[in-house]
Amino acid sequence: MKTIKVHERDNVAIPVEAAPKGTVLEGGLVLREDIPQGHKIALRDLAEGEAVVRYGVTLGYLLKAVPAGGLINEHTLKAAPTPELDGMAWGTDIRTDLPAAPVATFDGYPVPGERFAGTRNILGIMTTVQCVSGVLNVALARMKAELLPRYPHVDDIVALNHDYGCGVAIDAREAHIPIRGLRNLMRNPNFGGQIMLVGLGCEKLTPDKLLGPDELNADNVLILQDHKGFHAMTAALMDMAEKKLEVLEARRRETLPLSALCVGMQCGGSDAFSGITANPAAGYASDLLVGAGATVMFSEVTEVRDGVHLLAARCTEEATAKKLAAEMRWYDEYLAEGGVDRSANPTPGNKKGGLANIIEKAMGSIAKSGRAPIVEVLSPGEKPTRSGLVFAATPASDYVCGTMQLASGIGVQVFMTGRGTPYGLAPIPVIKVCSRSDMKDLWADLIDVDAGRIATGDATIEELGTELFRDIVDAASGRKKPWAEQYRLYNDLCVFNPAPIT
């Protein structure tokens, strides 16, 4: 029976397959009870109160003694305290020995005035408020049927529907978060700098909150209350879409340095294998991308909170470490106001998959950031100003993280999953990587990359990370379409709004 121990200091390991009581492990240890796949086995007799160590990190302290070969899970473990945010050491773990990337360019759509190039050529139609979505969706179906086929160089038309915009406290302390998110979302490089904003006319999120004075004109903004009924609205929407499609139709891919690419890393439905297969492979791909000049973004505040000191150590500047602490503190307080804390994060699926608590989940989650230095920390939906590895402080919720990373300008997202999700984003390709080979066997036509081969010994982290790097470049260049893009499996956008609704 193969088991995996991540770090030399670890006093637990996990079995690659479910292992019944009595199984003899490599080295002779006998299992005292049935151990589900990926759950933790005590490697020696552990006393009550003793630290359980995985990834070289203390996950928590035992609530009762566990003998060698016994099971350790969420019921036997008291979580270690959250790391302090004040006075974290920074810059103490700056790695410059990143691996060399096999290629240095991709084929993207440059956008004048923008750092990042597009990976697809899409008409993105932004809304100021959900009130317009009904009309827009009907018009969108017509646009796709009647207009899109006449513009063969345009990949898609996407309505950026959202539930912000009215019935919200638009002057609330935190209202800048959803507003900034929407403003930047409509500027994702895949939309080619073309602005098509559909408003109602009486909403709180007025067009000037999303557009600059030079953009605020009838070429870019269509207000439904200015039009004489449904048919006139539809006709005006079709007309405006066509004008934008004409401009987008002229876009062509160019060979560009990887510095014009922004890649988002996210994980969801994690299990105990996520942190030793899919996420480290993504981390290696991230290091290759960063080494080649690309920008890579990782996120999910509640999933890194318990490893924040490890991230601070990788920040290149004090200001970056301070912003990291400030974003974490903001989220601590946001959760506290709702009467919860970081322990609200792990899901039933996480626990079933062997993750005992948020600390274990965090260690696995952070693995997707590789080893590169952190050059910038972004508030949710902010755009990066530097190339390299960036922490974007979004919620961990898959669809909220995805939406806010889109706002930050990603052109490809890599999504690591343990339990499996059919997640996809309409504006960009999403590459899905699973942590276990049986997931790939189950969902052969939904999972793009099987990182379970690392657990079975069929691939190294470096090999799989390099393969993933090539997949990212190919997807960005339009040479590969991940499964979600092929089937058009798209989640709804979900902008982060921590402010009250009215």
Chain residues 336-375 in contact with its own copies, contact rule CB under 8 A: 337-340, 342, 344-345, 347-350, 352-353
Task: Give residues 299-338 in contact with its own copies (rule: CB under 8 A).
Answer: 302, 334-335, 337-338
Spell out, one character per residue from 53 to 82, where the chain touches its own copies: x when CB under 8 A holds, - when not. ------------------------------
User: Closest CB to its own copies among 400 and 412?
Assistant: 400
Q: What is the 3-state secondary structure (H, E, C) of 17-34?
A: CCECCCCECCCCCECCCC
Identify the helix (H) or strand (E) that includes residue 364.
helix 358-366
Residues 6+ positions from 469 with CB-CB distance below 8 Å: 101, 102, 284, 285, 288, 289
Contact indicator for 67, 32 with CB cutoff of 8 Å: yes
Cβ neighbours around 22 below 10 Å, total: 11
Query: Residue 386 to residues 102, 261, 296, 414, 442: CA-CA distances in angstroms?
Result: 22, 12, 10, 20, 40
Identify the helix (H) or strand (E) that includes residue 126.
strand 122-127
224, 267, 321, 367: which one binds its own copies (CB under 8 A): 224
Phi, psi (rounded to 5 degrees) for 86: -80, 135
21, 150, 173, 479: which one binds its own copies (CB under 8 A): 173
* Residue 145: CB minimum distance to its own copies, A: 13
User: Closest CB to its own copies among 47 and 488?
Assistant: 488
Per-residue tokens: 124: 């993105």
User: Closest CB to its own copies among 25 and 136?
Assistant: 136
User: Closest CB to its own copies among 54 and 162?
Assistant: 162
80, 443, 463, 467: which one binds its own copies (CB under 8 A): 443
- Is 500 a binding residue for its own copies by CB under 8 A? The answer is yes
- Is 276 a binding residue for its own copies by CB under 8 A? The answer is no
Identify the helix (H) or strand (E) that includes residue 295.
strand 295-298
18, 30, 63, 444: which one binds its own copies (CB under 8 A): 444
Question: Which range of residues in 111-119, 148-156, 450-458, 483-491 is near its own copies by CB under 8 A?
Answer: 483-491
Task: Give residues 227-256 in contact with its own copies (rule: CB under 8 A).
Answer: 228-231, 233
Strand order in the sheet with 77-79: 51-54, 57-62, 77-79
Spell out, one character per residue from 182 to 211, where the chain touches its own copies: x when CB under 8 A holds, - when not. ------------------xxxxx-x-----
Task: Give residues 106-165 in contact with its own copies (rule: CB under 8 A).
Answer: 130-135, 137-138, 161, 163
* Residue 167: CB minimum distance to its own copies, A: 2
Per-residue tokens: 216: 């605020």
User: Closest CB to its own copies among 32 and 144?
Assistant: 144
* Residue 179: CB minimum distance to its own copies, A: 14
Q: What is the CA radius of gyration of the chain?
A: 24
Q: Tell me the one-letter amino acid at 99.
A: P
169, 216, 238, 313: which one binds its own copies (CB under 8 A): 169
Question: Which range of residues in 28-36, 40-48, 85-93, 168-176 is near its own copies by CB under 8 A?
Answer: 168-176
171, 213, 214, 457: which one binds its own copies (CB under 8 A): 171
- Is 391 a binding residue for its own copies by CB under 8 A? The answer is no
Q: Tell me the one-letter amino acid at 173.
A: R
Q: By rule CB under 8 A, what count of residues binds its own copies?
A: 83
User: Closest CB to its own copies among 112 and 231?
Assistant: 231
Phi, psi (rounded to 5 degrees) for 368: -75, -10
* Residue 159: CB minimum distance to its own copies, A: 11
Query: Residue 462 to residues 93, 157, 196, 278, 358: CA-CA distances in angstroms?
Result: 21, 37, 43, 11, 27
User: Closest CB to its own copies among 70 and 268?
Assistant: 268
Spell out, one character per residue from 14 to 53, where the chain touches its own copies: x when CB under 8 A holds, - when not. ----------------------------------------
Phi, psi (rounded to 5 degrees) for 473: -65, -40
* Residue 395: CB minimum distance to its own copies, A: 5
Whole-angstrom Cα distance, residue 219 to residue 375? 38
Q: Tell me the one-letter amino acid at 169.
A: A
* Residue 232: CB minimum distance to its own copies, A: 9
Whole-angstrom Cα distance, residue 396 to residue 380? 11
59-69 burial string, b = 16+ CB within 10 Å, else e?
Answer: bbbbeeebeeb
Helices marked H in 164-257: 176-185, 229-248
3-state secondary structure (DSSP) of residue 356: coil
Question: Which range of residues in 86-94, 114-122, 365-373, 489-497 is near its own copies by CB under 8 A?
Answer: 489-497
Residues 6+ positions from 145 with CB-CB distance below 8 Å: none
Q: What DSSP designation does 370 have?
A: T
Question: Which range of residues in 4-12, 79-87, 306-314, 481-489 is near its own copies by CB under 8 A?
Answer: 481-489
